[in-house]
Amino acid sequence: MPTTPISRLSSEEIESLHNTLQNLLYLNNVCRESLCLVPPVHSSLHAATQDDEIPVSYPVHLSDGTISEQKSISVSKGSFVHVPVEAFNLDKGMWGPNAWDFDPDRWDHLSEDVLSLPGLYSNLLTFSAGPRSCIGMRFSMIKMKTFLYILLMTFSFAETDKRI
Ligand code: HEM
């Protein structure tokens, strides 16, 4: 933990702090778990620029109540596609029965199915995926880790029954 205020750190001290943060594996797991359970961008909307087929892993329940056996969904040019980030990150079929629990240890034993999921960050859709994914991901991560690290090194935290 640097003794000088963070705004006055030398570039060597910044690099050292950065290296310290990168090596804190449990802090990394806590950040991943938080961004998995509570993705700040919970969904997004995209417009198809051309006709396309979106492959699916499971049979799709159609709005008329029937189940489609097709292996893909046809999307025509101009259609809006809702990308449900929360549903993707919290799917029990993919992440297991404890998908909705806060469990930072899950990141130490991910299934092959989860490891095959696309996503800019940690097989999640939190920062989207592909060519239009978030350009601020690394900045956000280092900021989140630095913030937590300084709070945890400076204060003691305890549960309370008091209303805050
Ligand atoms: C925890 C913090 C953040 C989260 C969860 C987040 C998430 C996302 C997501 C999901 C998208 C895709 C949106 C979509 O497809 O409609 C996106 C795009 C983008 N983000 Fe972030 N973001 C975060 C922080 C930042 C920061 C700090 C910056 C800038 C410094 C930033 C800059 C951008 C930009 C410019 C795009 C558009 C990229 C493009 O369309 O090519 N984001 N972000």
pLDDT digits over 78-90, tens only?
Answer: 999 999 999 999 9
- H/E/C letters for each residue in 82-98? EECHHHHHHCHHHHCCC
Backbone Cα Rg of the chain: 20
164 CA to centre of ligand 1 in angstroms: 32
Q: Which long-range contacts (CB under 8 A, 24 or more apart) does 133-142 make?
A: 141/31, 142/18, 142/21
Atom of ligand 1 at shortest distance to CA of 132?
41
Report domain extents, the chain: 9-42+84-153, 44-83
Of residues 54 and 1, the one with the higher pLDDT is 54
In this prediction, residue 45 carries a pLDDT of 94
Binding-site positions? 134
**Cβ of 81 less than 6 Å from ligand 1:** no
Beta carbon of 139 within 6 Å of any ligand 1 atom: yes
The residue whose C-alpha atom lies closest to atom 18 belonging to ligand 1 is 134
How far, in Å, CA of 116 to CA of 45, rounded?
23
What are the start-end ranges of the E strands in the chain?
A: 44-47, 52-55, 60-61, 67-68, 72-75, 80-83
Distance CA 37, CA 70 (A): 31
For 35, the token pair is 């961004």
* 73 pLDDT more than 80: yes
What digits encode the pLDDT tens for the residues 139-154? 999 999 999 999 999 9
Pull the structure tokens for residue 26: 């449990």
Mutation pick for ligand 1 pocket among 120, 134, 148 (CB with most ligand atoms within 8 Å): 134
The CA 135 to ligand 1 mean position distance, Å, reads 6
Q: For the segment 1-44, what is each residue's pLDDT rounded down to a tens digit? A: 767 777 888 999 999 999 999 999 999 999 999 999 999 999 99
Task: Give binding residues for heme as ranges.
Answer: 134
75, pLDDT greater than 90: yes
Kindly state if the Cβ of 98 falls inside 6 Å of ligand 1. no
